[in-house]
Amino acid sequence: MFSHYEYQEYQERVAKTKESMAKEGIEVLLVTNPSNMNYLSGYDGWSFYVDQMVVIIIDEDQPLWIGRYQDANGARATTWLDQNNIIAYPDDYVQSDTKHPMEFMADFLAQIGQGNRKFGVEMEAYYFTARSYEKLKTRLPNAHFKDASLLVNYIRIIKSDAEIENMKKAAAIVDKAMLTATNAIHVGARQCDAIAAIYYDLITGTKDFGGDYPAIVPLLPTGERTSAPHLTWTDQTFKTGELVIIEIAGCYKRYHAPLARTVSLGNPTNEVKEISKVVVEGLNTALDIVKPGVTCEEIEAAWRNVISKHGIEKEARLGYSMGLSYPPDWGEHTASIRKGDKTILQPNMTFHLIPGLWFDQYGIEISESFRVTNSGCEILTNFSRELIVKGDIDFETVIS
């Protein structure tokens, strides 16, 4: 049951969306990104493998949820919408050679008088396929379609205080899971067993609140595989001398707080020690300049000035806006901390700052999630910011 406060927050989100729609000349917005569906309606279910959408009609008070019949009760359980605004298509539309869910949706929209209007569609949404788009256009021949891929994403970029509280809970969960990770990663242990321990903490959360499944699985490149940032785990055992990168995120009510750290199993080489110091120095320097009015590219420039003194270049972006999300990504696909991004920071924007450096034989990754405040930034997590050398540290005191 939604509280009055929650109901008002959803109303404000829809109102902001309609303002953006009006500026873009959009009368009907078809929202197929599950993160945006949740943001506007509250819908929360693992049903994004079939066609579904939330529809914002500019002159209607409430959105529509349109999805699979067997998921309609899930919409009734998780959204703030009236019963009449939950529309279901029969199961014979699912993965059929003769029917398509978008045909049902298009026909329904035409029946309620929307067939001749100006539509916005999320062309870059992961689960909105080329076939879905073609079916819509065929069944709505008099409609005008416009790409509205990031319209809702850019509204989401500034969080409400309630959203920030969710992210802080996610941060408490990831702090706990990272401590577990550093203990579970040791010579002779299997990578898969360490991941199992991490997952346990990500889902059980804290004694006060539980966790949710993160939008990205735990990443655990090990040994020479640390030269690639997005590898997961194997059933191999950890070996003396290996580096292990841990990139995980706590998740609470679909809000994320990512965190990355690097573990050295045994004494690291001098090169690794020096590179890790550069990463931390650059990370600290970048965080120090974060405040409202600063641009994303200025943060990246501060980092680049540090690493360039050591003759290092980083090809990838330094970070990105993140928060509410579903698989396969916890990023919001809006602002990136990189050269050329002139997005101006505003209070309650949230970012994952990930100054990883990857070389041919190894990599170092130490990241932070932060919120832009009225005068600077707040680090969401609370975990020691350094290369973790097993045997040189009491892991029960890693969280300061």
CB neighbour list of residue 178: distance below 8 Å, 6 or more residues apart: 246, 248, 259, 261, 381, 383, 398
Dist. CA 351–CA 362, nearest whole Å: 25
The mean per-residue pLDDT over the stretch 213-239 comes to 97
pLDDT band at 225 (very low <50, low <70, confident <90, very high): very high
The three-state secondary structure class of 183 is helix
CA distance 350 to 346: 9
- 377 Cβ neighbours under 8 A, 6+ residues apart: 287, 290, 291, 370, 371
Q: What is the pLDDT of residues 305-347, one digit of tens each?
A: 999 999 999 999 999 999 999 999 999 999 999 999 999 999 9
**Does the N-terminal peptide bond of residue 355 adopt cis geometry, omega within 30 degrees of 0?**
no
Provide mean pLDDT across the span 117-139: 97
User: DSSP for 356-398?
Assistant: -EE-SS-EE---EEEEE-SSSEEES-----S-EETTSS-GGG-
Residue from 303, 333, 334 nearest 318 by CA: 303
Nearest to 331 by CA among 214, 204, 184, 162: 214
- Percentage of the chain with pLDDT > 70? 97
Q: Which residues of 339-368 are buried (b: 16+ CB within 10 A; e: fewer)?
A: eebebebeebbbbbbbbbbbeeebbbbbbb
Give CA–CA dist 285/300, Å, rounded: 10
Average pLDDT over residues 361-365: 96
